[in-house]
Amino acid sequence: MKHYLVAWLLTVCFVLSSSAQGNVSEKPDTIMPVRGFCIAAPQPSDLQEFVRFIDEELAPRKVNTLILRVDYNYQYESHPELRDSIALSKQEVKKLVAVCRENNIRIIPQVNLLGHQSWAGSIGNLLKAYPEFDETPQVRMPEKYVWPNADGLYCKSYCPLHPGVHDVVFGIVDEICDVFEADAFHAGMDEVFYIGEKQCPRCSGRDPAGLFAGEVRKIRDHLALKGRTLWIWGDRLIDGKTTGLGEWEASYNNTHRAVDMIPKDVIICDWHYERPDQTPVWFAMKGLSVVTCPWRMPENAVLQARDMVKFRANSTPEMKERFLGMVQTVWSGAGPFLDNYYGRRKDESKNTPVNCFKALFDEINRIQ
């Protein structure tokens, strides 16, 4: 009798395990649900080639998520004062929407909220048009930017407690999501160095983690009204000092406790460029879904992709679904990237976003 029971159990186990394997081969998405690419939205002059790149390079590699950093490279109608001088028209955006739809690629537009409101010595369009939103109006933009500097200026932030700021930024968030027909929005929110500054009459004395989490929740709740999901970079949610990950890749300014305060349906883009750090596990254990983002080092990207598969394979069912996949990030404009990709600009280094992208998707498609 015992033998029968053992034989029956073995049969059940065999059937279950082969059906699980069967599911994997039938549904390749279960290995790597998000296979993403993140880049600045193209300038109008690069649009045609970028559309071709989506069609001929992203689609065959089975990229299914395209995060496009749009910021003010769109001819906003709700806030024309925020447009870049050269910016995509609605008709041009619809070409991107069409090629992505044909290839089953989900577009997630990005506009930097909270931080990154300036770059080096240049102020961004939001604070140029609305200087009253500046968290640190006392910090003047330098003629020649250097880091480090006495002001601790990396990028400007807007004040999350300014009573007028959300009317403006949510206007452009809604418009950019509408024009891209998007069900998700990326708010950036990385490398926020200025938060809860003592000169700010609204924020001084407040907990930076509470301020950061409050802003995440506000954006998330606004998007949720139209059934949209919020994606953000993960660095402000990691404790830089304890982990040794430093002040860009992680937080040295006490925002990291926000990881326990933000809604669990916010998607975390966990970027690590120099090492394949294992932080996705930590985000997943906090109840947050996560993608790993490499940049320019092919060997790390391959290791990170293997880790992502391993995390999914070795986790409980509750944890597994939070390990969403990989997003290749490109931090140049689309134009310079395409120059490099199509060989018009040579880069002899092996550590380039082009090489990293190719190696990452070779690995993902090999695993699939």
166 touches Zn ion by CB under 5 A: no
Tokens for 341? 């990709």
Q: How far is the CB of 192 from Zn ion (least distance, A)?
A: 12
211 touches Zn ion by CB under 5 A: no
Q: How far is the CB of 268 from Zn ion (least distance, A)?
A: 24
139 touches Zn ion by CB under 5 A: no
200 touches Zn ion by CB under 5 A: yes
- Binding residues for Zn ion restricted to 119-138, rule: CB under 5 A: 135
Q: How far is the CB of 368 from Zn ion (least distance, A)?
A: 46
Outline where the chain has alpha helix (H). 2-26, 47-53, 90-102, 125-129, 165-179, 208-224, 240-243, 246-249, 279-285, 298-313, 317-320, 334-341, 353-367
Q: Other CB atoms closer than 10 Å to residue 346's CB: what's the count? A: 7
Per-residue binding string, Zn ion, 145-164, x by CB under 5 A, is --------------x-x---
Tokens for 106? 């989900």
> Collapsing DSSP states into helix, strand and coil, what is residue 250?
coil
Point out which span in 45-53, 111-119, 194-202, 337-345 binds Zn ion (CB under 5 A). 194-202
Tokens for 237? 């949610």
Closest CA to 74 of 65, 83, 85, 64: 83
Q: 60 Cβ partners below 8 Å, 6+ apart?
A: none
Closest CA to 169 of 158, 181, 178, 154: 158
Terminal alpha carbon distance of the chain: 42
Point out which span in 5-13, 119-127, 202-210, 279-287 binds Zn ion (CB under 5 A). 202-210
Member of 87, 108, 203, 237 binding Zn ion (CB under 5 A): 203
Q: 127 vs 200, which CB is nearer to Zn ion?
A: 200
Locus of tokens 């320019």 = 296
284 touches Zn ion by CB under 5 A: no
Q: 200 vs 267, which CB is nearer to Zn ion?
A: 200
Give yes or no for a contact between 356 and 301, defined as CB atoms under 8 angstroms apart: yes
Q: How far is the CB of 114 from Zn ion (least distance, A)?
A: 11
Q: 71 vs 135, which CB is nearer to Zn ion?
A: 135
202 touches Zn ion by CB under 5 A: yes
330 touches Zn ion by CB under 5 A: no
Which residues of the shown chain bind Zn ion in the complex (CB under 5 A)?
Answer: 135, 159, 161, 200, 202-203
